[in-house]
Amino acid sequence: MLARHAEDLFWIGRYMERAEDTARLLNVTYHTSLEAGAGAGDPWAELLSLLYLDEEGEGIDRDRVARFVVADRTNPGSVASIVGHARENARGVREWLTTELWEEINAFHLELAAMDLGRALETRPYALCELIRRRCQTVIGVATVAMPRSEGYQFLALGQLLERAGITARLLSVWHRRLVGMEGSAGFLEWTKVLRSVGAYEAYLREHHAMFDGSRVIPFLLRSRELPRSVLYCLEVAERQLVSLSRGPYGRASLRGMGRVRSAVEFAEPRQLEGAALRDFLEEVETGIQELGGLIEEDYFRHVDFGLHAYEAG
């Protein structure tokens, strides 16, 4: 496989995951803004922070932020931008995609391009978030059931898993800083929002019932082996993809880096998951996942001579 094709597939996975995560976070932010009481933090500022867009200079206003993260094509991290980039990547790697997968990615891009996204955000924001989420899941679902488990699928899945692990780690890091010490009904509501942001609310209920607090939610999203959106689950599956992709000296740096981050999460000592140490630990995991992207680029893509993709984590 050509390095540029591997990179394009890797980023298709990342783009689809980022678009879905943005839709989930935006949906929860809309609900949070309606429910926020006196003294609550600004959910729109938190949304920008979660998406690494808090330094983009966008005014903290609901309508402006929503447009910025969904419809603004000058923002390389907006849904419209990253779906467009995913489609361009897919055009360049058609031989690695099934016809069904190409058609789903292309149809998703054309559907968003034909919509007045600004108007949709004003009149039916929840329906738009749901549409984006479902379309992203359809693309990944078609890839899962239709693509041969060759290098093409492995790079696409690797990108998706790395992005998912990163956004979950980012969510835990940001929300832990905000919710530390928050108990009672306020803590209950806030931790349910964290779970809904990653689609893990019902899975958590089955395991922990209605006991919502950080001492349970954080380990669940960090180290559950059954939850597809937990950090450990994503890292373990991504590590298996890297093991399969590595050949001789190629891929060793990223594989070692993946092993370090996965081991840190898997074998964290109890004291690392408590108090101030937990804040530092979550930040280290988030940083470690960001650095994995660079290691994978060094091992597989660095000699490719073309511009950066729409956004780089961190």
State the pLDDT at residue 37: 52
311 belongs to a structural domain: no
Average pLDDT score over the chain: 87
> Which pLDDT score is estimated for 56?
55
- pLDDT over 90 (residue 227): yes
Q: Which domain holds residue 123?
A: 1-147
Same domain, 181 and 288: yes
252 vs 233: CA distance, rounded Å? 21
Q: Is the dihedral of CA 214, 51, 21, 91 positive or negative?
A: negative
Binned at pLDDT 50, 70 and 90, residue 60 comes out as confident
Measure the CA–CA gap between 248 and 258, rounded to whole angstroms.
Answer: 17
Q: How confident is the model at residue 180 (pLDDT cuts 50, 70, 90)?
A: low
Q: How many CB atoms lie within 10 A of CB 251?
A: 20
> Are 80 and 120 found together in one domain?
yes
Q: What is the mean pLDDT of residues 127-146?
A: 96
Confidence check: pLDDT of 118 > 80: yes
Which distant-in-sequence residues (6+ apart) come within 8 Å of 152 by Cβ? 1, 5, 9, 93, 96, 97
Q: What is the largest CA-CA distance in the chain?
A: 59
How much is the average pLDDT of 239-261? 90
| Residue 5 near residue 93 (C-beta atoms within 8 A) | yes
Q: State which of 147, 175, 191 marks the end of a domain.
A: 147
By mean pLDDT, which of 48-62, 79-93, 111-125 is the weakest?
48-62
Tell me the pLDDT band of 48, cut-offs 50, 70 and 90: confident
Q: Is 247 helix (H, G, I), strand (E, B) or coil?
A: strand
Q: Is residue 221 part of a domain?
A: yes
In a domain, 314, yes or no: no
How many CB atoms sit inside 10 A of residue 144's CB?
13
The segment with the largest mean pLDDT, out of 56-60, 138-142, 242-246, is: 138-142
Contact 36, 181 (CB under 8 A): no
| 17 and 137 belong to one structural domain | yes
d(CA 224, CA 204): 10
- One domain for residues 40 and 170: no
Residue 214: its pLDDT value, please? 74
CA atoms within 13 A on the CB side of 242: 29
Name the pLDDT band for 241 (thresholds 50, 70, 90).
very high
Residue 111 included in any domain: yes
Q: How confident is the model at residue 43 (pLDDT cuts 50, 70, 90)?
A: confident
At which of 120, 147, 174 does a domain end? 147
